[in-house]
């Protein structure tokens, strides 16, 4: 077991010896921040594994401002001692590399201490071998917040990993990407942005890098080389970036023959979702009470998820009582129950899903299937069975960290497997017809 206090003393001496005096104060402050983050990330390493999923409400890390550096060192040593592996942890090589770069790197103008710290933090999180637990720089964290909170400039793709490659979880409804023909499940193999002098394969990229390089100013163009996992040929799409308005809810009423139904499309569980949802539910109930519709088609296709509390609230409009979802975390297990609103409890409903339905949309689909026996129509869902918490850091950055697994009301964990459908209907993207929607109407 390393002597943490001794290592820190040696490092402080090294700072005074090798670094100009005017940089020492700033540098020590930076190191204080990284040690605090080390404590946090090591705690995660010891308990959490694979991640991404529904996002609970943001949680602040204000407690880091209330403890001193000496306390952080004690906590760091305690965490190392409590490791199940009991592996020795040494920061010696980290400081060794830092000092070599500081002393010997050929171009001092390129040494940016803040970028070096960001890189070190990203490396720590990368060590979890979990692509969905990620440190976000202040700029990237701001972009991540835009996805759920409002609008941004880009192409409108929910990114994730498809067969280990940067890929499309789902194109956002009405986005430039959707209009250009980007599909759920597409692997993004290469990105070409002439204006940004970028033409790179995505191999080795993190999700953060992909977001940064695919987004851009309004009116600029980006070309993506795509391929579906089951296909052998690549295809290229050129997309003109635009303002992306994250519209959560779209409601229309469909009549085919003697059947009339409400078609409620929910594209994500974001900041605006609840208000939009409540308005749509009011319109559905007006039609239902007048006997103008026979039921509801709840469309969760290409819904990549979002906030956990939004999924619980929406499921509560169908379920009077009982468990919506259970969260199994490192130290406890918690069941989230229906709020009891059940406004749509009496309205016959079917749910549309596909491989772009993930996380929060899977929570809702599983709850309605398990509790009410509502049929799932379409294709097997994505299978994102873990929960991420988005935490704000003192530098304006963020940490997306896995805090638990979610289980269906029947106790199933669907990670990597997804939800099987009751009626399988594959969408033919070569036609304008919506075969899945047409099949759903037949249920009424």
Residues 162 and 229 in one domain: yes
Residues 437 and 355 in one domain: yes
pLDDT given at position 61: 25
Average pLDDT over residues 414-425: 96
Residues 49 and 134 in one domain: yes
Non-local CB neighbours of 13 within 8 Å, separated by 6+ positions:
none
Please name the residue ranges forming H helices in 201-241. 207-214
Residues 83 and 192 in one domain: no
Query: Could you tell me if 423 and 377 are in contact, meaning their C-beta atoms sit under 8 angstroms apart?
Result: yes
CATH code for the domain in which residue 332 is found: 3.90.226.10
Residue 162 or 378, more confident: 378
Euclidean distance between CA atoms 254 and 49, whole angstroms: 44
- Asked if residue 433 belongs to a domain, the reply is yes
- Asked if residue 170 belongs to a domain, the reply is yes
Closest CA to 368 of 384, 355, 351: 351
Residues 259 and 271 in one domain: yes
Euclidean distance between CA atoms 226 and 228, whole angstroms: 7
Residues 170 and 240 in one domain: yes
| pLDDT over 90 at 346, yes or no | yes
Residues 126 and 157 in one domain: no
Residues 228 and 301 in one domain: no
CATH code for the domain in which residue 184 is found: 2.30.42.10
What does 345-372 look like in DSSP terms, one character per residue?
A: TTS-EEEEE-TT--THHHHHHHHHHHHH
- Asked if residue 90 belongs to a domain, the reply is yes
pLDDT given at position 26: 54
Q: Each residue of 305-324: pLDDT tens digit?
A: 989 999 999 999 999 999 99
| pLDDT over 50 at 62, yes or no | no
Euclidean distance between CA atoms 232 and 371, whole angstroms: 41
- Asked if residue 367 belongs to a domain, the reply is yes
Residues 176 and 275 in one domain: no
Catalytic residues: 359, 370, 384
Query: How many other β-carbons are positioned within 10 Å of the β-carbon of residue 47?
Result: 13
Query: How many other β-carbons are positioned within 10 Å of the β-carbon of residue 68?
Result: 9
The reported pTM is: 0.63
Last residue of a domain, one of 78, 113, 141: 141
- Asked if residue 146 belongs to a domain, the reply is no
pLDDT given at position 52: 33
The number of C-alpha atoms within 13 Å of 31 and in the hemisphere containing its C-beta is 17
Give the strand pairing for 235-240 and 221-227: antiparallel
Count up the domains in the chain and report the number. Answer: 3
Last residue of a domain, one of 141, 160, 183: 141
Query: Could you tell me if 172 and 245 are in contact, meaning their C-beta atoms sit under 8 angstroms apart?
Result: no
Query: Could you tell me if 437 and 297 are in contact, meaning their C-beta atoms sit under 8 angstroms apart?
Result: yes
Euclidean distance between CA atoms 201 and 26, whole angstroms: 37
- Asked if residue 392 belongs to a domain, the reply is no
Percentage of the chain exceeding pLDDT 70 = 79
| pLDDT over 80 at 406, yes or no | yes
Euclidean distance between CA atoms 136 and 154, whole angstroms: 18
pLDDT given at position 1: 44
- Cα–Cα distances (Å) from 418 to 192, 268, 414, in that order, read 33, 17, 5
294 class by beta-carbon count within 10 Å (0-12 exposed, 13-18 middle, 19+ buried): middle
Q: Each residue of 68-85: pLDDT tens digit?
A: 333 444 444 454 454 555
- Asked if residue 393 belongs to a domain, the reply is no
Window from 162-171, 281-290, 310-319 with minimum mean pLDDT:
162-171
- Cα–Cα distances (Å) from 319 to 100, 344, 353, in that order, read 62, 8, 19
Residues 236 and 296 in one domain: no
Query: How many other β-carbons are positioned within 10 Å of the β-carbon of residue 53?
Result: 28
- Asked if residue 130 belongs to a domain, the reply is yes
Name the pLDDT band for 86 (thresholds 50, 70, 90): low
Query: Could you tell me if 136 and 401 are in contact, meaning their C-beta atoms sit under 8 angstroms apart?
Result: no
Average pLDDT score, the chain: 83
Tokens of 100: 């070599």
Last residue of a domain, one of 91, 107, 141: 141
> Residue 172 is part of which domain span?
151-245
Average pLDDT over residues 170-183: 92
Residues 331 and 369 in one domain: yes
Q: Each residue of 17-41: pLDDT tens digit?
A: 445 555 555 555 555 555 555 544 4
Residues 356 and 433 in one domain: yes
Query: Could you tell me if 161 and 131 are in contact, meaning their C-beta atoms sit under 8 angstroms apart?
Result: yes
Query: Could you tell me if 18 and 103 are in contact, meaning their C-beta atoms sit under 8 angstroms apart?
Result: yes
In three-state secondary structure terms, 98 is helix
Give the strand pairing for 349-353 and 296-299: parallel
Euclidean distance between CA atoms 294 and 348, whole angstroms: 7
Tokens of 28: 């020590």
pLDDT given at position 247: 76
């Amino acid at each position: 077991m390393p002597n943490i206090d001794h290592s820190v003393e040696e490092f402080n001496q090294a700072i005074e010896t090798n670094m100009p005096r005017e940089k020492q104060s700033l540098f020590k402050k930076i190191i204080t921040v990284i040690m605090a983050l080390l404590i946090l990330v090591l705690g995660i390493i010891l308990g959490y594994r694979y991640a991404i999923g529904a996002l609970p409400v943001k949680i602040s890390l204000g407690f880091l401002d209330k403890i001193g550096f000496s306390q952080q060192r004690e906590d760091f040593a305690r965490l190392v001692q409590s490791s199940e592996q009991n592996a020795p942890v040494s920061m010696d090589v980290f400081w060794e590399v830092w000092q070599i770069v500081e002393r010997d790197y050929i171009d001092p103008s390129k040494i940016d201490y803040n970028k070096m710290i960001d890189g070190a933090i990203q490396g720590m999180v990368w060590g979890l071998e979990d692509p969905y637990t990620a440190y976000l720089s202040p700029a990237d964290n701001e972009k991540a917040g835009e996805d759920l909170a409002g609008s941004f400039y880009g192409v409108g793709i929910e990114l994730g990993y498809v067969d280990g490659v940067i890929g499309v979880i789902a194109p956002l409804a009405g986005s430039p990407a959707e209009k250009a023909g980007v599909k759920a499940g597409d692997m993004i193999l290469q990105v070409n942005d002439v204006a940004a002098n970028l033409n790179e394969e995505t191999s080795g990229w993190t999700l953060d890098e992909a977001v940064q390089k695919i987004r851009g100013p309004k009116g600029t163009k980006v070309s993506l080389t795509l391929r579906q996992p089951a296909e052998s040929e690549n295809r290229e799409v050129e997309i003109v970036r635009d303002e992306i308005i994250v519209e959560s809810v779209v409601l229309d009423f469909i009549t085919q023959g003697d059947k009339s139904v409400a078609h409620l499309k929910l594209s994500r569980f974001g900041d605006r979702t609840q208000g939009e949802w409540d308005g749509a539910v009011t319109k559905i109930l007006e039609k239902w009470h007048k006997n103008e519709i026979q039921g509801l088609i709840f469309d969760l296709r290409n819904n990549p998820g979002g906030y956990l509390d939004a999924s619980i609230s929406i499921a509560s409009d169908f379920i009077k009582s009982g468990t919506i979802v259970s969260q199994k975390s490192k130290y406890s297990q918690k069941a989230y129950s229906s709020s009891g609103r059940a406004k749509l409890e009496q309205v016959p409903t079917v749910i549309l899903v596909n491989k772009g339905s993930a996380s929060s949309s899977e929570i809702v689909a599983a709850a309605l299937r398990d509790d009410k026996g509502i049929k799932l129509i379409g294709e097997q869902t994505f299978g994102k069975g873990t929960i991420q918490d988005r935490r704000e850091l003192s530098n304006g950055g963020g940490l997306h960290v896995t805090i638990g697994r979610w289980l269906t009301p029947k106790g199933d964990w669907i990670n990597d497997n997804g939800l099987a459908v009751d009626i399988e209907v594959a969408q033919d993207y070569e036609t304008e017809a919506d075969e899945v929607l047409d099949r759903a109407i037949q249920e009424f």
